[in-house]
């Protein structure tokens, strides 16, 4: 087998299809975190919110059989946790790095406790079904149909959220306020923008998206819940925001890069190559560190990131 055949057997259309699928939780969490960071809030607890979203969404589906209810539950729980971290960061003006770690540990512990008490042993549920887009899903050329148009609903929503997020940040007055609050809150305040309200709103949105990201794992991607289901995926989502230079499209590119490596890892494992899985697990982190180290001028960087605002300081 020559090298091209080897690559051809590994990088198949199904790898790209699962790349998109695996990118979904990254996208939801990182787009939500992008909004929070653009307004000046760093939430390191994304992973904790994802775990809670993953569990509560899973449990709602397990108990009622309704996928919609599962997603709604994850959104509400995520939003509440976003509200909590907003209260800590904005109103109490706590150190954001530390409180985020606290939120992560809280979510990690509580999701496991609830899982043990309410479910106990791993159970599986009916997942989100794949939706075949008529006509488009039949395109054979380069496997386009299989890659793009035979995905579940949350995958479509995740990718649709990218241009919408970019548009909101760039072209709406709400987006303008978010950017101003993250760069120079004193100036925004002087221009009659309610800094606290904007930051609460982005953090609650970020929480909802993190909750949704968790649900997309448990309810759409895997159909199961187990202890520490995310395995630190939420931390990668935070890094992706830096990687993407606070731009939704950049975040998407990063998410695709990561999930492609994840998908390759699964494929290589499935084909029985003897590569320690740890290598491909490490790859994304190495990429992130390199990308951060070589980051040049970052005009979109929210300079007030992690700095609490108080009028007159």
Contact call for residue 188 and other proteins (CB under 8 A): yes
Is 201 a binder of other proteins (CB under 8 A)?
no
Contacts with other proteins by CB under 8 A: the residue count is 24
Using rule CB under 8 A, residue 192 touches other proteins: yes
CB of 171 to other proteins, least distance (A): 6
Does 196 participate in binding other proteins (rule CB under 8 A)? no
Q: Is residue 130 within 8 Å of 108, Cβ to Cβ?
A: no
Q: What are phi and psi of 253, to 5 degrees?
A: -60, -45
β-pair partners for 150: 132
Cβ closest to other proteins, residue 50 vs residue 195: 195
Residue 299 binds to other proteins (criterion: CB under 8 A): yes
- The Cα–Cα gap between 44 and 99 comes to 8
* Closest to 75 (Cα-Cα) out of 245, 229, 243, 205: 205
Which CB atom, from 93 or from 171, has the smaller least distance to other proteins? 171
- If binding is defined by CB under 8 A, does position 296 make contact with other proteins? no
Instruction: Quickly tell me which residue has 């949350």 as its tokens.
Output: 154
Residue selected from 72, 131, 300, 307 as contacting other proteins according to rule CB under 8 A: 300
Query: Measured from the CB of residue 183, what is the shortest distance to other proteins in angstroms?
Result: 5
Q: Up-side HSE of residue 16: CA atoms within 13 Å toward CB? A: 14
Residue 151, phi then psi, degrees to nearest 5: -115, 170
Q: Is 186 in the site for other proteins (CB under 8 A)?
A: yes
Residue 191 near other proteins by CB under 8 A: yes
Shortest gap between Cβ of 87 and other proteins (angstroms)? Answer: 23
Q: Could you identify the residue written with the tokens 């919609």?
A: 68
Given the rule CB under 8 A, which of 115-123, 153-161, 270-278, 296-304 is the region that contacts other proteins? 296-304
DSSP, collapsed to helix, strand or coil, labels residue 151 as: strand
Instruction: Quote the distance between the C-alpha of residue 61 and its chain's center.
Output: 21
- Residue 184 as a binder of other proteins (CB under 8 A): the answer is yes
Quick check: 193 binds other proteins (CB under 8 A)? yes
Q: Which residue has the tokens 């509580």?
A: 110
Q: How far apart are CA 14 and CA 294, in angstroms?
A: 32
Task: For the CB of residue 39, give the shortest distance to other proteins in the complex, in Å.
Answer: 12
Confirm or reject binding of residue 187 to other proteins (CB under 8 A).
yes
Question: In the Cβ-directed half-sphere of 127, how many Cα atoms lie within 13 Å?
Answer: 21
Of 174 and 279, CB closest to other proteins: 174
Is 114 among the residues that bind other proteins (CB under 8 A)?
no
**Binding test (CB under 8 A) with other proteins, winner from 176, 224, 268, 283:** 176
Q: Would you say 90 and 41 are in contact if contact means Cβ atoms under 8 Å apart?
A: yes
CB of 41 to other proteins, least distance (A): 17
Q: Which two tokens stand for residue 30?
A: 């990182």
Report the residue from 21, 177, 199, 245 that binds other proteins according to the rule CB under 8 A.
177
- DSSP character string of 26-61: HHHHHHHHHHHHHTT---TTHHHHHHHHHHHHHHHH
User: From CA 28, how far away is CA 221, in angstroms rounded?
Assistant: 13
Q: With CB under 8 A as the contact rule, which of the stretches 114-122, 168-176, 204-212, 276-284 interacts with other proteins?
A: 168-176
For other proteins, give the closer residue by CB, 118 or 190: 190
> For binding to other proteins (CB under 8 A), which residues are involved?
171-174, 176-177, 179-180, 183-184, 186-193, 299-301, 303, 311-312
């Amino acid at each position: 087998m020559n090298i091209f055949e080897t690559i051809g057997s590994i990088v198949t259309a199904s790898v790209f299809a699962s790349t998109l699928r695996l990118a979904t939780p990254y996208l939801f969490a990182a787009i939500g975190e992008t909004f929070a960071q653009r307004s000046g809030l760093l939430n390191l607890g994304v992973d904790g919110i994802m775990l809670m979203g993953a569990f509560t969404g899973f449990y709602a589906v397990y108990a009622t059989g309704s996928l919609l209810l599962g997603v709604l539950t994850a959104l509400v729980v995520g939003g509440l946790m976003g509200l909590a971290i907003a209260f800590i960061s904005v109103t109490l003006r706590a150190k954001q790095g530390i409180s985020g770690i606290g939120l992560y540990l809280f979510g990690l512990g509580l999701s496991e406790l609830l899982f043990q008490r309410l479910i106990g042993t791993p159970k599986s549920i009916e997942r989100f079904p794949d939706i075949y887009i008529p006509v488009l899903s039949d395109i054979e050329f380069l496997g386009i149909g299989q890659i793009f148009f035979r995905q579940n609903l949350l995958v479509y929503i995740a990718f649709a959220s990218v241009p919408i997020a970019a548009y909101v940040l760039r072209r709406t007055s709400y987006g303008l306020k978010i950017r101003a609050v993250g760069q120079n809150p004193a100036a925004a305040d002087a221009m009659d923008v309610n800094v606290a309200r904007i930051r609460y709103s982005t953090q609650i949105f970020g929480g909802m998206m993190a909750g949704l990201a968790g649900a997309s794992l448990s309810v759409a991607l895997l159909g199961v819940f187990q202890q520490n289901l995310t395995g630190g995926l939420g931390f990668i989502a935070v890094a992706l925001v830096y990687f993407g230079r606070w731009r939704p499209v950049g975040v998407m590119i990063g998410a695709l890069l990561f999930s492609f490596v994840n998908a390759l890892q699964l494929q290589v494992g499935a084909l029985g190559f003897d590569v320690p899985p740890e290598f491909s697990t490490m790859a994304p982190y190495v990429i992130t560190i390199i990308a951060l180290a070589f980051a040049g001028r970052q005009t979109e960087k929210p300079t007030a990131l992690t700095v609490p605002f108080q009028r007159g300081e």
